[in-house]
Amino acid sequence: MFVILGRINLVELVKLLGVDLNQIAARAAEIERTDQNCSLVLGQLIDKTYVTRIAEEINEKLLQQGQITIGELTRHYDLPSDFLQMVSRICILYLYVFFVYHLCLSLHLPLYSPFICS
């Protein structure tokens, strides 16, 4: 999907394309159904690359600050809290994998150790 930075508001598409909002909303719903890389969130079509980018940004903030609230993320990204909680869960998983990887390196454990897989 080619959108500006991986996220576009359907109302903006109306302005850009000069097409009726009902037609754009119907097509966006179809895209969401048929393309696993796209989500329709509060009238915005969001691509997986955008989600990955904000997950990386959230990871950086977590590493720097140690914590961040969903309220802060909601205000910053202008997205619903349930969507951002899903993204935050991905971030926590990334941080866990990052931590375990570096722990294994520091303890000279093989990366495919039963310690990781159990």
Average pLDDT, the chain: 80
For residue 30, which of 110, 22, 78, 104 has the smallest C-alpha distance?
22
What pLDDT does 101 receive?
A: 65
Which is higher by pLDDT, 52 or 2?
52
- What tens digit of pLDDT does each residue of 56-101 get? 888 888 778 888 888 898 899 888 888 888 777 766 666 666 666 6
Query: Which residue is associated with the tokens 């802060």?
Result: 72
Q: Where are the domains of the chain?
A: 4-109
